[in-house]
Amino acid sequence: MKKNLPDKAGHFGIFGGRFVPETLIYALDELGKEYAASKRDKKFRKELSDYLSEYAGRPTPLYLARRLSRYLGISRVYLKREDLLHTGAHKINNTLGQVLLAARMGKRRVIAETGAGQHGVATATVAALFGLECDIYMGSEDIKRQALNVLRMKLLGAKVISVESGTRTLKDAMTEALRDWVTNVRHTHYIIGTVAGPHPYPMMVRDFQAVIGKEARQQILRKEKRLPDYLVACVGGGSNAMGLFHPFFNDKNVKMIGVEAAGLGLSSGKHSASLVAGSPGVLHGCKSDVLEDKFGQIKNAHSIAAGLDYPGVGPEHAYYKEIKRAVYAAVSDKEALEGFKLLSEVEGIIPALESAHAIAYLKKAGRAVNKNSIVILCLSGRGDKDLHESH
Ligand SMILES: *Cc1c(COP(=O)(O)O)cnc(C)c1O
């Protein structure tokens, strides 16, 4: 098993790569080069780490959830508190990294796609911070579901562009954002919000989010003098999960569990479980597991959590699944709502509905999780945005 993937062309085994129009190849190469140079540049690393600590609020706590552990009958469940970050979710780790790159490349404008609105807010936030023009693509269905985040983006000076095609959700927003980028690539940087898309995005976003796992690894070693038995995280595109998982890749005894959205049930066809119930295919510029029909048409995804409502997933997760480095499970809307209530009631922490999928998994995992174990669960975001969906 190799940790230092992808290869030069962006492949994780058979997954990843670049399936994009010719006009984007130059931009992707430019981005790849800038990213590689920045990674080696001490000044860039210091600048990013200063923004992460002074502006976003890192490091986030690794909190021992005693009452939750007791309720679940698991020795110790720790929550990695990404919900405490500025803007309320892990997304800011990535947008800060990418906006620094955009500034280095001299781009005046940034664009992004958004589902729950969390990535749109995180992008609008860093655009304001750096004085860049900002357009956010968002499905009209999500605009309705996430009115508060739409107001936030506008207040931050971004333009929210309503997408009326397809299911009017995240997939369609990403398609439109890619289209915009093809046209405006000279002065525009596209900030993709998860570990998907054409190379170098899956690698680059993973590296920016890996701060989650690096911190968690140090914190658990300090608190427990040993590594955890399980890592658990929800998987939409897969960035919070990969951010937690990746720094533990070589720790053979650390088991990884990614939790997808089973929506109204896997057999209903209304879900977003690309890894659990999908198959290899191409979506938004890379090869990974996707939800498609027998003619290769991408299907509509469904989840009560707008941030999980996507019919694809990052290619590195498809690879982890194939080599069995991680296992993937799916949790329904109804179970996620139970997880949402549970964490609120026993810990006084209202989780994002996305993160509630990971909580719900632990609740129903039964013997799949050894009770005498240490678990780190990524609490990817806070739930204020979801209050209206939850009753
Ligand atoms: C966007 C989002 C997710 C899903 O995205 P990943 O790339 O899978 O992490 C999960 N939780 C929250 C709170 C989000 O905002």
Question: What is 37-85 written as a DSSP string?
Answer: HHHH-HHHHHHHHHIIIIII-PSPPEEE-HHHHHHHT-SEEEEEEGGGS
Q: Is the pLDDT of residue 2 over 70?
A: no
pLDDT tens track for 124-135: 999 999 999 999
Band of the pLDDT at 302, cuts 50, 70, 90? very high
Band of the pLDDT at 368, cuts 50, 70, 90? confident
Catalytic-labelled residue, pool 91, 255, 287, 385: 91
CA–centroid distance, residue 235 to ligand 1 (Å): 7
116 lines ligand 1 (CB under 6 A): yes
Write the single-letter amino acid at 191. Answer: I
Position in ligand 1 atom list of the atom nearest CA 313: 8
Report how far apart, in Å, the C-alpha atoms of 193 and of each of 119, 249, 311, 366 are: 6, 22, 15, 33
Cα–Cα dist 390/336, whole Å? 10
Position in ligand 1 atom list of the atom nearest CA 118: 15
Q: Is the pLDDT of residue 3 over 80?
A: no
* Per-position b or e across 16-27, b if 16+ CB within 10 A of its CB: bbbebeeebeeb
Per-residue pLDDT at 219: 98
* Angle in degrees, 0-180, between the axes of helices 22-40 and 201-209, rounded to the nearest 10: 30
Position in ligand 1 atom list of the atom nearest CA 355: 11
pLDDT tens track for 172-202: 999 999 999 999 999 999 999 999 999 999 9
Per-residue pLDDT at 145: 80
Tell me if residue 113 is catalytic.
yes
237 lines ligand 1 (CB under 6 A): yes
For the ranges 9-13, 22-26, 48-52, which has the lowest average pLDDT?
22-26
- The mean pLDDT of 165-176, rounded to a whole number, is 89
Q: Is the pLDDT of residue 1 over 70?
A: no
91 lines ligand 1 (CB under 6 A): yes
Per-residue pLDDT at 142: 87
Cα–Cα dist 303/281, whole Å? 21
In the chain, DSSP assigns E strands to 11-12, 15-16, 62-64, 76-81, 109-114, 133-139, 159-163, 188-190, 230-234, 255-263, 279-283, 286-290, 326-332, 374-379
pLDDT tens track for 89-107: 999 999 999 999 999 999 9
CA–centroid distance, residue 233 to ligand 1 (Å): 10
CA–centroid distance, residue 336 to ligand 1 (Å): 14
CA–centroid distance, residue 190 to ligand 1 (Å): 18
Percent of the chain with pLDDT over 90: 88
CA–centroid distance, residue 380 to ligand 1 (Å): 6
314 lines ligand 1 (CB under 6 A): no
Cα–Cα dist 185/110, whole Å? 10
Position in ligand 1 atom list of the atom nearest CA 239: 7
92 lines ligand 1 (CB under 6 A): no
Helix (H, G, I), strand (E, B) or coil at 124: helix
Cα–Cα dist 223/204, whole Å? 30
Cα torsion 124, 111, 272, 10: sign: negative
Cα–Cα dist 275/76, whole Å? 28
* Mutational pocket test of ligand 1: of 87, 90, 94, the residue with most ligand atoms within 8 Å of the beta carbon: 90
Q: Is the pLDDT of residue 207 over 90?
A: yes
Per-residue pLDDT at 125: 98
Angle at 178 between CA 174 and CA 183, to 5 degrees: 150
Band of the pLDDT at 115, cuts 50, 70, 90? confident
236 lines ligand 1 (CB under 6 A): yes
pLDDT tens track for 208-237: 999 999 999 999 999 999 999 999 999 999
* Mutational pocket test of ligand 1: of 119, 235, 380, 385, the residue with most ligand atoms within 8 Å of the beta carbon: 380
CA–centroid distance, residue 304 to ligand 1 (Å): 13
89 lines ligand 1 (CB under 6 A): yes
Cα–Cα dist 259/356, whole Å? 10
Per-residue pLDDT at 156: 98
- Residue 257 CB neighbour total at 10 angstroms: 23
381 lines ligand 1 (CB under 6 A): yes
CA–centroid distance, residue 136 to ligand 1 (Å): 17
Report how far apart, in Å, the C-alpha atoms of 124 and of each of 60, 140, 174, 344 are: 22, 18, 16, 29
CB 300 within 8 A of CB 261: no
Angle at 26 between CA 25 and CA 27, to 5 degrees: 90
pLDDT tens track for 249-290: 999 999 999 999 999 999 999 999 999 999 999 999 999 999
235 lines ligand 1 (CB under 6 A): yes
Cα torsion 355, 356, 357, 359: sign: positive
Per-residue pLDDT at 113: 95
